[in-house]
Structure 1
Amino acid sequence: MALIVWWAPLVWIAAAAVVIGAVLWYRRRHRASGGIPVAHRERLTALPAYRRAMGRYRMLVAGFVLCLVALIAGGAVLTARPATVSLVTPDLNNRDIVLCLDVSGSMIDYDAVVLDVFQELATEFTGERISLVVFNASAVTYFPLTADYDYISSQLERLSGEFDDPSAPYYGGTLIGNGSSLVGDGLASCVVRFDEGTTDRSRSVIMVTDNFVAGEQIFTLAEAAQLAADRGVRVYGINPGDATARDYLADLATEFETSVLTTGGAYFALDDPSVIPAVVERITSEQASILPGRPQVQVTERPEPWIWLSFAGVLGLSFFGWRVKR
């Protein structure tokens, strides 16, 4: 057992010493003087009833003192926060996931909803490394591959707050190029964001776009999808404007769906209620080995026995105090 606040028991000991010293000093200063001498008191103290009464009194006082010690000891250890310290090595899933988000003008109305979807997706994974890449005319890595889910959550919240700010930092890096919403280039940029290319890892891109391209691309969407397939990357497409595209621009939705399917991935509409569990199920069904993570020091507080000891001390003090007064 380790004590997080190791000096707390020293404070209790010092306080107890001060209180005991003050009580002894007070009793010495106010000790009764004089008195009435009693002859042959040994006859009284030799009586069996007197001996029994004194024996009970001493037992009650001893019990009172013992419960007081238990209460002080329990309180002292509790304020020191007892804990067990161990070194653990968490298991990490050998999967990498790049969230690939189109932040062009036609996507602005959807992006806040998309980030909520990403937040939910992040909570469904355990140990996978996740990255976020945003793109328009060019792509910017908002955060690299990491398994720090607190960091991932904070970055997604930060990005959500930046959507209402035209001068947000990430926008400046996404406007370098001829046009906007260059989906093929955006997907290609997301595909090449994977590191550790020689290791046996599952690699997936979750791409959110309406596939409304305006400008000259280096990669068409089909070519970027083929690049993903060649590198063993599966693309899962989420189209916020699926219904609109199929009504007015059917070829955009069809091209997006066809391209992601060639990588072994899947296509979803954003308003599909099953999109999150479906994407998670598809990604987690991919074969991936378990890797040992970085060793971490784990501190687990264990106050339970000391709480019970303090509680027993309080009950004991109440009982023995009542009995002594009688």
Structure 2
Amino acid sequence: MELRWWWVVVVGVTALVVIVAGAFLWPLRQQQRRLRPLAWTGRLTQLPEYARAYRRYRILLAAIAATTVAVSLCAIIATARPVSAQATTAEINRAHPEDIMLCLEDDPASHDASVLLSYFRDQAAKFETQRLGLTSRAIRVIPLTRDYPYLQEQLGRYAGLERLKSEQKPAPENTAALQRAQQEFGRAVSYSDYKLTVNDALALCMKGFPGVGKTSDARRSVIYLGPAGGSTAPIYSDTALSALAKSSGIQLNVLTRTTLDASGALSGIADASGGRFVSYVAADPKSGNSATQREAMDAALRSHLDDIRSHPPKLTRSDGTILVQQVRDRPNTVLIVGLAMVVVFSISLAGVRR
């Protein structure tokens, strides 16, 4: 147990010691009283009944003194505000739920996209307060939602696109399902004076959070899968993208096959946001890799996702203050102990009087 104000304990215990010492050491003024003569006092004090009554009297005085000191200590500790520096995961998730936006610039029917989507399909089954969304190159495929059955259904359907695409002679219904899913991810649009860039795709993903541009009680993170090369003439420059992530309190995580040297400023933006930049080796089913090698590469990609999920965004207040840990008042134990002692002593005192 930790205390917010240790000095209160020092002052309180010191005052309590002074009061107890003063009560014992302070000289009492002897009052001149005429006592009524009583015969055979020596024999009376030797009676077993008198000895029991006097012993009970001394025990009662000792119990009163001990209870008074113990309750005073409980009051002093409660005044010093006991705190808990570790909030449970459930408490943190209720107070600061996670908003996660998946950002796919790769083909949704690619192998890596299938691994990512199937991973979060399984994660959605374990979610409690989290919201999850999915954004493609040019469209919001799944807005942020806590409809976990819907998320599992949609992510599972999209994760199966790789299998449909790899079929040599697909059935008509499978071909229709593949075309429908690809349309849901957005049709390719050609511009005369613009080419979609990584920075702009990331900005589109970030704008999927409500109230973007301002911090929120929710912990926001973007998990991007796709190329990470330098953007040519983007609408959002590296500085603007970094400022958008900072002002919105968004943690950017990047999973890419692009090497660190060829990624431009994207790795720095991810690091500055508290996220991770991971350059991984992709498992291509069409390559000469064996099934064991592909499984090892897929396991490595899932391991990177586990690492990202185990390091959620830091808790940030509206004024920008980062909370390393949550500190909450926990006086319950001390107060319960003090109250229990008072109740037990009161019941015992009532029994003694009877």
TM-score normalised by length of structure 2:
0.45
TM-score by length of 1: 0.49
**Which of the two has greater strand per residue?**
1
Which fold has the larger relative contact order, with Cα–Cα distance below 8 Å and residues 6 or more apart in sequence? 1
